[in-house]
């Protein structure tokens, strides 16, 4: 694999160079304690050493609110909003975030591809960066290393304050063409980056735990603390549920159709016409959220649909921790197995 050294002082110049390809989107400081992926206006404002952004990169592919079309009731016609295919570079992306995009690809492009997502995805390039896990990251527990490079075109690995730049695709090679501040170097292994939070079992064993967890007492206990705010879904990079609303103008002659993010933790999410609600209880919604991450899609695809970013835990107003829930389910499962052995 081709590898170059890049000095910390030359990172801004690299970002400016990438601007020749298209819009560059990178982490910026937001307020005192938050980070956000924003379009780069001034490369010196890009933050490389960040823990996580509040909203995941999915906002650039599935906007929180998106007009799908205008319609006319008078003429019985509609005009869909055209989404342009634009070149974009996503800079300083963590490995779990990239993995979430690959999972979104699966969710949005399998079967009939979602065309707006596809257009936004088509000319997107990704440049990864290594990070130091904080107390909420646990992506290693779901099989994603800090230096996992799948999906990236280029990857920046921090070594003693400077960077090694790995070239991973032909698209990545074209991005750095003409940038003269890189020097060929040997790849180096960096040690000492450790995850503080862990799920106790290898993720391969989790579907079995979830197979027997449906009637667990853990759901009611977690639900007693949950305030059903939906933050965990909205900040989750692999959640993609949305609602579609038609807004008719006051003349009742025309209107617009909009799509907006939805959350399965909200009490009205599973409500249908006639007032029936399939997941009225908080514990049922809590269980559903975890099963979506570790059982339903995982059974089909063989991968957890949680990428261990830690957002749902870091931003939960009730302090509910996803790894703690999974570890409690594991503990309960171990107790049940022990009882079975004693009885046999």
Tell me the sheet residues that pair with 26: 38
Max Cα separation, the chain? 74
Asked if residue 149 binds ligand SF4 (CB under 6 A), the reply is no
- Cβ proximity to ligand SF4, 178 vs 319, nearer residue: 319
- Which of 19, 87, 302, 317 contacts ligand SF4 by CB under 6 A? 317
Closest separation in Å from C-beta 278 to ligand SF4? 17
SS3 264: coil
* Gyration radius of the chain over CA positions: 22
Asked if residue 146 binds ligand SF4 (CB under 6 A), the reply is no
- In SS3 terms, 94-105 reads as CHHHHHHHHHHH
Closest separation in Å from C-beta 236 to ligand SF4? 3
Nearest Cα neighbor of 254 from 21, 44, 76, 38 is 76
Closest separation in Å from C-beta 26 to ligand SF4? 20
Nearest Cα neighbor of 136 from 4, 321, 300, 299 is 321
Return all residues near 37 (Cβ < 8 A) that are at least 6 apart: 25, 26, 27, 28, 53, 55, 57, 59, 60, 90
Asked if residue 310 binds ligand SF4 (CB under 6 A), the reply is yes
Asked if residue 295 binds ligand SF4 (CB under 6 A), the reply is no
- 78's enclosing H/E stretch is strand 77-80
- Which of 98, 129, 156, 322 contacts ligand SF4 by CB under 6 A? 322
- Which of 154, 156, 236, 283 contacts ligand SF4 by CB under 6 A? 236
Whether 5 contacts 25, CB under 8 Å: no
Asked if residue 309 binds ligand SF4 (CB under 6 A), the reply is yes
Residue span binding ligand SF4 (CB under 6 A) among the ranges 143-151, 167-175, 310-318, 335-343: 310-318
Asked if residue 118 binds ligand SF4 (CB under 6 A), the reply is no
Supply the DSSP symbol for 173.
H
Closest separation in Å from C-beta 18 to ligand SF4? 27
- Which of 316, 325, 326, 329 contacts ligand SF4 by CB under 6 A? 316
Asked if residue 238 binds ligand SF4 (CB under 6 A), the reply is yes
Nearest Cα neighbor of 294 from 283, 307, 285, 282 is 307
Asked if residue 172 binds ligand SF4 (CB under 6 A), the reply is no
- Cβ proximity to ligand SF4, 54 vs 129, nearer residue: 54
Pick out residues in 251-270 that bind ligand SF4 (CB under 6 A): 265
Pairing of strands 88-93, 23-30: parallel
φ, ψ at 64 (rounded to 5°): -55, -40
> Which residues here bind ligand SF4, judged by CB under 6 A?
226-232, 235-238, 265, 293, 306-312, 316-318, 320, 322
């Amino acid at each position: 694999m081709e590898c170059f050294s890049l000095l910390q002082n030359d990172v801004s110049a690299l970002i400016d160079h990438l601007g020749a390809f298209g819009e560059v989107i990178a982490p910026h400081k937001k307020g005192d304690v938050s980070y956000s992926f924003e379009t780069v206006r001034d490369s010196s404002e890009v933050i490389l050493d960040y823990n996580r952004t509040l909203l995941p990169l999915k906002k650039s592919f599935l906007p929180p609110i998106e007009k799908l079309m205008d319609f006319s009731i008078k003429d019985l016609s509609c005009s869909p909003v055209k989404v342009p295919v634009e070149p974009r570079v996503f800079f300083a992306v963590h490995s779990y975030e990239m993995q979430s995009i690959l999972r979104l690809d699966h969710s949005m492009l399998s079967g009939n591809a979602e065309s707006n997502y596809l257009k936004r995805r088509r000319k997107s390039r990704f440049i990864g960066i290594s990070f130091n896990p904080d107390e909420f990251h646990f992506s290693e527990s779901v099989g994603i290393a800090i230096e996992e490079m799948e999906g990236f075109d280029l990857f920046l690995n921090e070594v003693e304050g400077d960077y090694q730049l790995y070239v991973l695709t032909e698209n990545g090679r074209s991005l750095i063409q003409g940038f003269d501040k890189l020097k060929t170097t040997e790849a180096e292994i960096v040690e000492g980056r450790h995850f503080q939070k862990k799920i106790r079992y290898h993720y391969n064993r989790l579907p079995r735990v979830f197979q027997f967890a449906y009637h667990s007492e853990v759901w009611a206990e977690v639900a007693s603390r949950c305030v059903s705010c939906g933050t965990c879904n909205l900040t989750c990079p692999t959640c993609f549920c949305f609602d579609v609303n038609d807004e008719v103008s006051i003349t009742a002659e025309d209107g617009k159709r909009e799509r907006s993010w939805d959350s399965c933790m909200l009490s009205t999410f599973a409500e249908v016409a006639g007032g029936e609600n399939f997941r009225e209880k908080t514990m049922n919604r809590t269980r559903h959220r975890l099963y979506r991450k570790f059982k339903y899609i995982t059974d089909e695809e063989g991968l957890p649909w949680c990428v261990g970013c830690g957002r749902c835990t870091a931003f939960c107003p009730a302090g509910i921790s996803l790894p703690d829930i999974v570890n409690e389910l594991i503990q309960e499962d171990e107790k049940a197995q022990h009882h079975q052995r004693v009885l046999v």
